[in-house]
């Protein structure tokens, strides 16, 4: 059974996760317009991951017999003069998501909601990975600077990221992840 406070907080996080997906899709278009096709692919993979993050929360609320509240998703804004500026935004966005996941965990602990704490542990671990990935990319792009040849090669590397997330959510997230 999900308490009202926890349910409302998770619903806000569902909105944030879908906003994240929306943001990364827009960044993918931004990276492509900079001529960085590999980064555009990396960001589209990130879009898929964010949809999984949202679906895991949605499924959890439904499993707990709660109400999923679908709020409006804000439109992402932002111009990215360089690939480095774009990935700096990815990093700061992920740091903000980490803070919101931590805030959810504090509510779950305060409410003695052990089931939600168990769910949130997955997100806490995931955020370590999210910040690590974005931070490494920012550091590499900073090192590359204006070296166009190095940027070309690194962008190719980023394009090697593959989709390891399900695209068929009709199975439910857990079953779909097994088939991914």
Binding-site ranges for ligand OFO (CB under 6 A): 17, 20, 50, 53, 94, 97, 130
- Give rounded-to-5 percent helix, strand, coil for the chain: 75, 0, 25
Shortest reach from residue 20's CB to ligand OFO, in Å:
4
Shortest reach from residue 94's CB to ligand OFO, in Å:
5
Query: Measured from the CB atom, is 137 or 144 closer to ligand OFO?
Result: 137
Q: Phi and psi for 81 in degrees, rounded to 5?
A: -70, -20
Residue closest to ligand OFO (Cβ): 20
Interatomic CA distance for residues 31 and 78, integer angstroms: 12
Q: Among all chains, which residue has been given the structure tokens 């990815």?
A: 90
Interatomic CA distance for residues 25 and 4, integer angstroms: 32
**157: number of CA atoms within 13 Å, CB side?**
10
Query: Measured from the CB atom, is 36 or 43 closer to ligand OFO?
Result: 43
| CA dihedral over 165, 167, 168, 173, signed as positive or negative | positive
Q: Phi and psi for 2 in degrees, rounded to 5?
A: -100, 125
Interatomic CA distance for residues 102 and 84, integer angstroms: 27
Query: Measured from the CB atom, is 40 or 165 closer to ligand OFO?
Result: 165
Give the tokens for residue 8. Answer: 């409302």
CB atoms within 10 A of CB 49: 19
Query: Measured from the CB atom, is 18 or 151 closer to ligand OFO?
Result: 18
Shortest reach from residue 11's CB to ligand OFO, in Å:
15
Shortest reach from residue 77's CB to ligand OFO, in Å:
17
Query: Measured from the CB atom, is 94 or 113 closer to ligand OFO?
Result: 94
Shortest reach from residue 148's CB to ligand OFO, in Å:
29
């Amino acid at each position: 059974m999900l308490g009202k406070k926890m349910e409302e907080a998770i619903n806000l996080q569902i909105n944030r996760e879908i906003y994240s997906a929306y943001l990364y899709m827009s960044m993918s278009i931004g990276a492509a317009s900079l001529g960085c096709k590999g980064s555009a692919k990396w960001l589209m993979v990130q879009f898929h991951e964010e949809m999984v993050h949202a679906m895991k929360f949605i499924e959890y609320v439904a499993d707990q017999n709660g109400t999923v509240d679908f709020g409006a998703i804000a439109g992402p804004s932002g111009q990215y003069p360089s690939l480095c500026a774009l990935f700096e935004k990815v990093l700061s966005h992920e740091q903000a998501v980490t803070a919101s996941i931590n805030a959810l965990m504090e509510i779950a602990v305060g409410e003695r909601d052990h089931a939600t704490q168990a769910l949130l542990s997955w997100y806490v671990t995931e955020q370590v990975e999210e910040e690590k990935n974005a931070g490494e990319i920012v550091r590499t792009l900073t090192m590359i600077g204006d070296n166009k040849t190095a940027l070309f090669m690194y962008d190719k590397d980023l394009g090697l990221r593959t989709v390891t997330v399900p695209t068929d959510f009709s199975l439910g997230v857990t079953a779909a992840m097994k088939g991914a």
